[in-house]
Every structure is written in structure tokens, then in C-alpha cells.
């Protein structure tokens, strides 16, 4: 079995006094694509933020590349090759497109520099046309491309996409999915959170459904498709 | 006003404005990027002036004193951010004002214990003590030109740092989304600590540079603090470029106000502020 890059064990997290995660186990191995699903408020983003150090879990363990990093500073976890494209994108509106990309540049954990400024611009030609524009002047789709491109500039081994296509026109969303496939093909492990379950399962190796802070289902896309009642019950999908 | 007098006043205005910029640039960075209202910022200016006095007395050389003072104030800034200010980011402005007002009192007391409450002077170094003769009766001191030149160099370096280096990009990015910067593997806490130390050092350096032309006296930081807040408000909170423009405008308004309407000179700076705020409520330049 390939190397475990990111792992959560028995994770319990709270926001204030509300108990969001109830003992979650979650694993990301090298190169695999995981669909993380569940209705709003079921704990998807909290799980991600707990693993990334933005939320300190009350109980449980987070390990990155086999090393326990529960509640470590987010920048230390990110330096282990974990890149995050948050919901709402998180571009820096007061920096130009070029600056948004350049400020993030760093080699991967093994020193490789597969993703350079030039390669990101090749992957996202639209960004190349808007290099001097402020991040805040971009359209929603362009902002999403910028956030993904910026995450790639850190040469990650795991890329986490939280609602990457939310609020985008269908054609732009399609373009994003195309890019996610390309990234997946380069061997970067991805966690994809998205409301378009058909699109997620068409690229994912494994799927995890969260219900009220617990793992309600874990299995391959084929297994999930064989149980349409699960999708209906837990995700409200037809 | 004849041309020579005008030229001298212009140079004075420039020198005063540039010195204000050194103090205000740190204030605007700390306010704009970290969101902290630092009332103790003027104390760093006072500290610098006293360091220049004490260290020049000890070493006999203003330049050696300035080098030591820079190292000392950077260290003080670093430790203050680590020990106190880093705990203030998530607090509201009232807590910040209380702590930093308290710091003014503490710094004045420490100053009183170490150097006493007397007014002191610092001698202009021999090599810069000359004056340039502008007319039969008027001359301009070389040291003031030296001050302006040093300030201009520092302003250019600051602009380059903030606008054109990766560190500057990270600093600006941190002001818009701190959490996202961390998610890119960047230790934003350390960067903020360095920015804070830089702000303290710039203010202290301004105090050191000014020590030979103004006297060194207790409470000298408080006057500077108020005028620096005016600079920050006029320039736009967080904008280093805005601070430069605003500081120069204030230098002009204050200097020429004293010449043209001496009876109301104290008002000119505040009239300027009111006028700018009517025209642009957020200051001349928007953020960062």
C-alpha cells in the first residue's frame, strides 16, 4: 500500500460549544483522489480545517507523513506538502495576479520544482492575460484558477479543493474539472469537496460521506453508484 | 519672501516631512497590516533620541551610537511583539489603547530611571557640522541635508521592500487574509514580528537622527505620536506610499504655516487633515 500522506484518527472538533466532529478517521494516500461529501454543516470543512491546523481538535490525532502534528501551526503542516484551496477562494485582492502566484512559490518537500510560474501560466492561459490585474478584479472562475494555480506553486503532494466550482457558470465549472483531472494525472493526491456528486465520483478513487460529524459511508465510486439510496438519503441527490 | 528664504523653508519642510515619514511609516504598517493602534509608537522615537544621547556620550561617536541603537531597538521591537503585541491582534481597540498607553508611562519611567529627566543635546558630528552659504546672511546646515538624504534612501528601500520583494508580497497578503498566507506554508507570525521590529527601529532611528538638531527631552515622543496619527489618517491607513505623501504635505503646511500665518501656525496641519478627509474620507491612498 502506498505511503500515507495525511491522516486523521478519532478526531473530535468543536466550534465554541457545538460539537462538530464525532470521532472521524480519514486517510489520504499518495496519488489518490478522494471525494468528501455530505450536506452543509455535516463537518466537511471542519474536518479539513482540523487536519490543517486551523481548528484545534479536542480529541484525536492528526498525522502528516506519519508524523503526529495535531494542532500544529498551519504553516508547518502546509510545508509538509499539503495545499489548500478554501471555500470562497482566498485570493489576495490587494496583490496582482503575478504577485499572488510568486509569493507562494516554493519547492516541494523533496526539493522538486515541477510547478513553476511558467507552468502554472501554461495550465491557466487566462491568468497570463491578467498578470497585472489585482486579484479582486478577476471573475469568479479566474479567481478559482488563481487559487488553484497558487496552491500548485507550493509543489504539494496533497491538494485540497473545498467547493472549487461553487457559484461558477457550468462552462467554467467544466473547465475547472478538466484542470482537476490534469492535476490528478500528475500524481498529486486530491481531496475534492463538491456538490456535483456525479463529477466527483467520475474522478475519485474513494469517497467519504459525512453525516453529523461521523463517517456514514466510505468506498469506491462504483460501490457508491451501486447504492443510489445512499446518495439520496445522505446527500439529497436524485 | 525672497527666493533664498523660500528655498531654506522648502528644505526645512522636506526634512521635517521625511523625518515624520520614518516614524509614521512604522505606525501605518503596524496599524494597517496588524490592526493594532500603537499609542506607544512615539515612545520609540523618544527612546531613539535618548539612545543617541547616551550612546554618543559613551562611545564618543554618533554613527557608532546609531549603529548600536539600531540593533538595540530592533531587539526591543522583536521582544515587545513576542511578549505583548502578538497577544493583542485578536483583542479590540480598547484593550490595545489601554496596553499601549500603559507602555508610554512605563517607557517614560524607564527613561527617567536610566538617563534622568534632564534635557540633553547631542553634538553634530564634525564631518557634517558645516553649513552651506546660500546668500550673504543665510546658510543651510549640511547635517539637515544629510538627514533628508538618509530619509530618502530609506523611503526608497521601504517602497522596494513592500512593492517588489516576495517578503513585501507576503506582508501585503497577510493584511488581507492571514490564514490563507499560513496555508501556503508561510510563517506569518514571524513576518509580523519582523515588520513590528522594523517599525520600532524606523521610529527609533528617526529619533537618533533628529537628536542633534532638536534637543532630547522627556515626553518628546508624544508630540510626534499625535502628528504621526495625522499622517496615517491623511495618507490612508496601511499605505506606506500614502504616509510619505502625507508626511511631506504636513511638512510643507507646518513649515510654511509658521512663516506665512505665524499666529495660527498650530492650526494649519489640522486644517489640512480636515480638508483631505472631506475630499477623501479614507485618506489619500487606499490600503497597502
Structure confidence at residue A238 as a pLDDT band (50, 70, 90): very low
State the average pLDDT for chain B: 91
* Cβ-based interface (< 8 Å): residues of A facing B: 52, 54, 73-75, 78-79, 83-84, 86, 90, 92-95, 99-100, 102-106, 150-151, 154
Beta-bridge mates of residue A4:
A29
Structure confidence at residue B288 as a pLDDT band (50, 70, 90): low
Between CA A26 and CA A33 the distance in angstroms is: 13
For the cut 50, the answer to whether the pLDDT of residue A36 exceeds it is yes
Measured between beta carbons, the chain A residues lying within 8 angstroms of B242 are: none
Q: A interface mutation test: which of B180, B286, B287 has the most A CBs within 10 A?
A: B180
Q: What percent of chain A has pLDDT over 90?
A: 75
Produce one character per residue of B179-204: b if its CB has 16 or more CB atoms within 10 Å, e if not: ebbbbbbbbbbebbbbbbbbbbbbbb
- Average pLDDT (A212-237) is 86
The answer to whether residues B231 and B283 touch, using CB atoms and an 8 Å cutoff, is no
Give B6-10 contacts, CB < 8 A, sequence gap 24+.
B7/B134, B8/B134, B8/B138, B8/B140, B9/B255, B9/B256, B9/B259, B10/B255
- Average pLDDT (B216-229) is 92
pLDDT 10s digits, B7-40:
999 999 999 999 999 999 999 999 888 889 999 9
Structure confidence at residue A88 as a pLDDT band (50, 70, 90): confident
Distance from the Cα of residue B66 to its chain's centroid: 15
State the average pLDDT for chain A: 92
Taken as a whole, chain B contains a residue count of 288
- Average pLDDT (A160-182) is 92
Beta-bridge mates of residue A62:
A8
- Average pLDDT (B178-182) is 94
Which among A135, A130, A131, A189 has a CA at the least distance from the CA of A161?
Answer: A189
Q: What is the interface size between A and B, counted as CB pairs within 8 Å?
A: 68
List the Cα angle A145/B183/A26 in 5-degree steps.
95
Measured between beta carbons, the chain B residues lying within 8 angstroms of A74 are: 179, 182-183
Whether residue B237 lies within 8 A of chain A, CB to CB, comes out as no
Measured between beta carbons, the chain A residues lying within 8 angstroms of B185 are: 75, 78-79, 106, 154
Between CA B96 and CA B221 the distance in angstroms is: 18
pLDDT 10s digits, B115-174:
999 999 888 888 888 888 887 888 889 999 999 999 999 999 999 999 999 999 999 999
Whether residue B185 lies within 8 A of chain A, CB to CB, comes out as yes
Is B182 in contact with A150 (Cβ distance < 8 A)?
A: no
Between CA A78 and CA B76 the distance in angstroms is: 31
- β-bridge pairing A4-15 and A158-162: unpaired
The answer to whether residues A51 and A13 touch, using CB atoms and an 8 Å cutoff, is no
Domains recognised in chain B with CATH numbers = 3-279 (1.10.3470)
Is A74 in contact with B166 (Cβ distance < 8 A)?
A: no
B83 to chain A, closest Cα gap in Å: 18
Amino acid at each position: 500500500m502506498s505511503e500515507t500522506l495525511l491522516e486523521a484518527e478519532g478526531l473530535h472538533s468543536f466550534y465554541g460549544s457545538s460539537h462538530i466532529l464525532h470521532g472521524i478517521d480519514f486517510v489520504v494516500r499518495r496519488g489518490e483522489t478522494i471525494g468528501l461529501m455530505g450536506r452543509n454543516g455535516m463537518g466537511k470543512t471542519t474536518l479539513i480545517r482540523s487536519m490543517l491546523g486551523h481548528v484545534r481538535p479536542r480529541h484525536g490525532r492528526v498525522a502528516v507523513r506519519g508524523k503526529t502534528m495535531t494542532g500544529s501551526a498551519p504553516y508547518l503542516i502546509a510545508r509538509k506538502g499539503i495545499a489548500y484551496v478554501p471555500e470562497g477562494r482566498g485570493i489576495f485582492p490587494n496583490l496582482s495576479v503575478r504577485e499572488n502566484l510568486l509569493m507562494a512559490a516554493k519547492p516541494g518537500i523533496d526539493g522538486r520544482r515541477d510547478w513553476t510560474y511558467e507552468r502554472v501560466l501554461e495550465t491557466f492561459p487566462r491568468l497570463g492575460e491578467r498578470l497585472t490585474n489585482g486579484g479582486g478584479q478577476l471573475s469568479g472562475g479566474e479567481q478559482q484558477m488563481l487559487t488553484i494555480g497558487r496552491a500548485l506553486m507550493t509543489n504539494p503532494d496533497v491538494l485540497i479543493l473545498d467547493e472549487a466550482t461553487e457559484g461558477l457558470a457550468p462552462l467554467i465549472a467544466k473547465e475547472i474539472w478538466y484542470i482537476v483531472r490534469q492535476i490528478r494525472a500528475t500524481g498529486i493526491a486530491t481531496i475534492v469537496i463538491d456538490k456535483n456528486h456525479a463529477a466527483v465520483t467520475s474522478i475519485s478513487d474513494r469517497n467519504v460521506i459525512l453525516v453529523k460529524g461521523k463517517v456514514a459511508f466510505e468506498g469506491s465510486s462504483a460501490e457508491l453508484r451501486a447504492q443510489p439510496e445512499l446518495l439520496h438519503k445522505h446527500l439529497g441527490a436524485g | 519672501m525672497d527666493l533664498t528664504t523660500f528655498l531654506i523653508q522648502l528644505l526645512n519642510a522636506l526634512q521635517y516631512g521625511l523625518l515624520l515619514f520614518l516614524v509614521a511609516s512604522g505606525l501605518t504598517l503596524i496599524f494597517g497590516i496588524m490592526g493594532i493602534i500603537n499609542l506607544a509608537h512615539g515612545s520609540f522615537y523618544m527612546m531613539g533620541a535618548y539612545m543617541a544621547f547616551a550612546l554618543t556620550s559613551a562611545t564618543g561617536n554618533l554613527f557608532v551610537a546609531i549603529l548600536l541603537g539600531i540593533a538595540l531597538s530592533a531587539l526591543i521591537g522583536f521582544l515587545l511583539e513576542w511578549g505583548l503585541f502578538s497577544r493583542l491582534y485578536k483583542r479590540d481597540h480598547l484593550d490595545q489603547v489601554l496596553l499601549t498607553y500603559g507602555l508610554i508611562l512605563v517607557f517614560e519611567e524607564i527613561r527617567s530611571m536610566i538617563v534622568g529627566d534632564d534635557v540633553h543635546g547631542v553634538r553634530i558630528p564634525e564631518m557634517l557640522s558645516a553649513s552651506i552659504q546660500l546668500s550673504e546672511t543665510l546658510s543651510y546646515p549640511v547635517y539637515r541635508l544629510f538627514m533628508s538624504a538618509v530619509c530618502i534612501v530609506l523611503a526608497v528601500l521601504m517602497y522596494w521592500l513592500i512593492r517588489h520583494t516576495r517578503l513585501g508580497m507576503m506582508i501585503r497578503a497577510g493584511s488581507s487574509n492571514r490564514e490563507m498566507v499560513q496555508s501556503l506554508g508561510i510563517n506569518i507570525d514571524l513576518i509580523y514580528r519582523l515588520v513590528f521590529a522594523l517599525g520600532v527601529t524606523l521610529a527609533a532611528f528617526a529619533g537618533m537622527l533628529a537628536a542633534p538638531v532638536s534637543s532630547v527631552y522627556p515626553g518628546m515622543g508624544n508630540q510626534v505620536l499625535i502628528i504621526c496619527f495625522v499622517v496615517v489618517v491623511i495618507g490612508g491607513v496601511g499605505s506606506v506610499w500614502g504616509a510619505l505623501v502625507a508626511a511631506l504635505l504636513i511638512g510643507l503646511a507646518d513649515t510654511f504655516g509658521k512663516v506665512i500665518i505665524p499666529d495660527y501656525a498650530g492650526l494649519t496641519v489640522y486644517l489640512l487633515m480636515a480638508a483631505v478627509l472631506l475630499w477623501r474620507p479614507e485618506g489619500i491612498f487606499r490600503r497597502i
